Amino acid sequence: MYEYINEQTLLKFVIPSLILLALFAMSKVEVRVTEGKLIGIVEKSIHGDHYIAFRGIPYAKPPVGELRFQDPVPPEPWSGSRDASKYGNIAVQVNIFTNEVMGDEDCLSLNVFTTDTKPLNKRAVMVWIHGGGFFMGSGDASFYGPDHIVRKDVVLVTLNYRLGVLDVSKESLKEIDSDFKKIIHPRMLRQLSQIPITISELRSLYFENKAVSEETLMNYSDFVGDQHFYSGIIEAIDTQMSSGVNEPIYLYKFSYESETSPMKNILDMQLPGTAHIEELGYLFYPHITKDLGLSPAAPDSEDYRIINCLTQLWTDFAKTGNPTPASANCKWTPLKNGNAYDYLNINIKPQMETLSKEKQRWDWKIKHKL
């Protein structure tokens, strides 16, 4: 049977499809920015769809020579078209897997990912500043691939910045030369001899007076987590809420455990529970997992559900200021003043839970201002 196709149908369905196919067949996309033209590249994501990548775009002059230890200086315009298909240099650092020094001082570049350079409506722009304690890491796809996030109609920007001693400004160096004590935290000098909680008390609190060993690794994990993360998050929340800032604060706990967790496999973590940065393996697609022979999450898997959950929450917040504007199953409500912290426990079935402010294990650090 033959079906009659009129001109409007052809224009509505066939022509846009041909344009889309032509775009992806070209594999390169040109855009103009203030400094000049950029030639990006069309990439196929692990999901089978496509996105456009503009990589290695300088956002400052190379911080070398007279510009070392100086504030960033805007980049010079370039003539002609600039190849933006490859990532820029990562900052100088020690490779966590090989212990070798790698990177380059000329590292001030960013990457932009989108599915459309001319969308009908403006899109939310999400900027990811990578972690790593200011001494390691980069914004490239090794850990922070854009494959998941760009499917939610946002623009993703990742970047590199100076790390370690090269991130110290010239003014800071002068202050260090004139008064070395300024770079030592005052509590280390004035309060070290006045700490009201003793090592023996901490050993009793976390280890029940047992020695640190393989059997007490989880106890040690609790101690390090409380000291470096938990108490700091709570203290930051309390400070912001008491400052009179009216912007909503959303607190979450990532509790999803999986044997195929990207971050656990990359870092070879064997302990039970969810680890620091583990949610980032679902928010982004770490391309380094390809080298480890790990397959992407199957569409019918629980990992895939977590990927969709996290990317939806984060991108909805970027678009509307509310992480769950249209969710019927679970509403992520902001914190409110009181004697408890309301937070979203993110798992296969996310749900709101409450944490009391009283008698928490980590409370010793906040009470004693350590």
Tokens encoding 213: 């060993």
How many angstroms separate the CA atoms of 43 and 147, rounded? 9
Both 199 and 314 in one domain: the answer is no
Both 203 and 319 in one domain: the answer is no
Both 223 and 290 in one domain: the answer is no
Both 67 and 151 in one domain: the answer is yes
Tokens encoding 216: 């007490």
Both 235 and 301 in one domain: the answer is no
Both 342 and 259 in one domain: the answer is yes
Both 264 and 186 in one domain: the answer is no
How many angstroms separate the CA atoms of 107 and 159, rounded? 9
**Res 85: pLDDT:** 97
Q: Are β-strands 155-159 and 125-129 bridged in parallel, bridged antiparallel, or unpaired?
A: parallel
Lookup result for tokens 């897997």: 97
What is the maximum span of the chain, computed from C-alpha positions, in angstroms? 91
Of 94, 128, 159, which residue is a domain's last? 159
Range(s) of the domain holding residue 202: 173-241
* Crossing angle between the packed helical segments 199-207 and 217-225, to the nearest 10 degrees: 120
Both 262 and 191 in one domain: the answer is no
Taken in order 346, 273, 289, 144, the sign of the CA dihedral is positive
Of 241, 262, 283, which residue is a domain's last? 241
**Res 17: pLDDT:** 41
Both 45 and 98 in one domain: the answer is yes
Of 214, 241, 268, which residue is a domain's last? 241
How many angstroms separate the CA atoms of 349 and 101, rounded? 43
Tell me the pTM.
0.84
In a domain, 22, yes or no: no
Lookup result for tokens 């912290």: 341
Q: Which residues contact 83 (CB under 8 A, 6 or more apart)?
A: 39
Tokens encoding 296: 């992407």
Q: Which residues contact 82 (CB under 8 A, 6 or more apart)?
A: 36, 37, 38, 39, 57
Both 227 and 351 in one domain: the answer is no
E strand residue ranges, the chain? 28-33, 36-44, 50-58, 81-83, 93-94, 101-102, 109-114, 125-129, 155-159, 252-254, 340-346, 351-356
**Res 320: pLDDT:** 95
Both 293 and 219 in one domain: the answer is no
Contact 133, 111 (CB under 8 A): no
Q: How far is CA 234 from the centre of its chain?
A: 20
How many angstroms separate the CA atoms of 293 and 184, rounded? 44
How many angstroms separate the CA atoms of 78 and 65, rounded? 21
Return the number of other C-beta atoms located less than 10 Å from residue 59's C-beta: 16
Sequential pLDDT tens for the chain (370 residues): 333 334 443 334 334 443 444 444 459 999 999 999 999 999 999 999 999 999 999 999 999 999 999 999 999 999 999 999 999 999 999 998 899 999 999 999 999 999 999 888 999 999 999 999 999 999 999 999 999 999 999 999 999 999 998 987 656 666 666 666 655 655 555 554 455 567 777 888 888 888 888 888 888 888 888 888 888 888 899 889 888 878 899 999 999 999 899 988 888 887 788 988 999 999 999 999 988 889 999 999 999 999 999 999 999 999 999 999 986 678 999 998 777 899 999 999 999 999 887 766 656 655 555 4
In a domain, 222, yes or no: yes
Both 33 and 151 in one domain: the answer is yes
